[in-house]
């Protein structure tokens, strides 16, 4: 009997805890013994989350959370625009959302310390333990998470890390990714080949395919907060969604983007 296809689903940049990011229907605020009431944007993001899950072509063999399931304490804004700065509440709510994806296996890759770390404690590591994720440490160790990951499926190697250069202007958004893909060729003797290069952080989807390699950046689950408007509004609205990669037994790769059509629009005040 022929083997069936396998798939990897990539989710990143959930930023749970921010008032402009996704949350569950009833996020718990444990210190107050109450729940957060999702705002209009969060309700739309929550609906988009479950629509994306419904659109998956198959049950993911592996779910990879490629950085930043939580938003963190938001110290630079002293917690403004956060429904909670308790990071345990944030990762608990992120876990609720992730557990509604029907995955078989789970891995986490670390994101930015500002969002996921407090002093020496990494909360992606804690969430990975809570959810029973697969262990990945590039050079050994007892933890479950690292800053990059190499995954093989049907002879194809996936190279994951969170960060990549950001550009507000759509015309140049392929530049950093193409540069990274070219640079990984020179890492082949040190790290091995990379057939699919996955990056996140930028909150927009871009896909580049060369003769033997794919590269893409993943969409996000957070709309802009005050930090992103420092350089103006243009180019700040994110792509919302997930990316599903289907690998056939013969090594054929299909990149399936699940980008939500967000019908919610900012208010226009008429006079």
211 phi-psi bin (left φ>0, alpha ψ -120 to 50, beta other): alpha
**pLDDT category of residue 2 using cuts at 50, 70 and 90:** very low
What residues pair up with 66 in beta bridges, in sequence order? 109
Kindly report the CATH number assigned to the domain that includes residue 143. 3.60.21.40
DSSP string, 33-83: TEE----HHHHHHHHHHHHHHHT-SS--SEEEEES-SB----GGGTTTTBS
**pLDDT category of residue 1 using cuts at 50, 70 and 90:** very low
Domain total in the chain: 1
Higher pLDDT, 40 or 3: 40
Closest CA to 124 of 72, 163, 160, 180: 72
Task: Read off the pLDDT of residues 73-92 as tens digits, 9 standing for 90 and up.
Answer: 999 999 999 999 999 999 99
Does 129 reside within a domain? yes
Does 183 reside within a domain? no
- Give the pLDDT of residue 230: 85
Q: Does the structure show a pLDDT above 90 at 142?
A: yes
Within 10 angstroms of residue 189's Cβ, the number of other Cβ atoms is 8
For the entire predicted model, the pTM comes to 0.96
- Give the pLDDT of residue 227: 85
Mean pLDDT for all residues in the chain: 96
Q: Provide the domain limits for residue 117.
A: 6-147+220-259
Does 20 reside within a domain? yes
Does 155 reside within a domain? no
Q: Does the structure show a pLDDT above 60 at 170?
A: yes
């Amino acid at each position: 009997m022929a083997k069936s296809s396998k798939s990897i689903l990539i989710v990143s940049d959930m930023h749970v805890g921010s008032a402009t990011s996704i949350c569950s229907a009833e996020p718990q605020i444990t210190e107050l013994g109450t729940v957060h009431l999702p705002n209009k944007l969060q309700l739309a993001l929550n609906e988009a989350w479950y629509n994306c899950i419904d659109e998956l072509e198959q049950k993911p063999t592996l779910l990879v959370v490629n950085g930043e399931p939580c938003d963190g304490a938001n110290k630079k804004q002293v917690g403004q625009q956060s429904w909670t700065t308790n990071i345990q509440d944030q990762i608990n709510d992120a876990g609720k959302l992730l557990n509604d994806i029907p995955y078989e296996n789970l891995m986490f890759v670390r994101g930015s310390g500002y969002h996921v770390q407090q002093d020496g404690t990494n909360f992606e590591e804690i969430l990975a333990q809570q959810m029973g994720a697969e262990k990945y440490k590039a050079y050994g160790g007892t933890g479950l998470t690292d800053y990059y990951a190499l995954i093989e499926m049907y002879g194809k190697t996936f190279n994951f890390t969170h960060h990549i250069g950001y550009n507000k202007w759509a015309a140049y958004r392929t530049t950093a990714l193409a540069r990274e893909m070219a640079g990984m060729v020179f890492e082949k003797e040190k790290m091995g080949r990379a057939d699919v290069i996955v990056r996140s952080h930028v909150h927009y989807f871009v896909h580049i395919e060369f003769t033997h390699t794919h590269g893409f950046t993943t969409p996000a689950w957070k709309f802009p907060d005050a930090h992103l408007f420092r350089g103006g509004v243009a180019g700040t609205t994110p792509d919302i969604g997930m990316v599903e990669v289907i690998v056939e037994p013969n090594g054929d790769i299909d990149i399936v983007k699940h980008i939500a059509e967000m019908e919610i629009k900012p208010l226009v005040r008429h006079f």
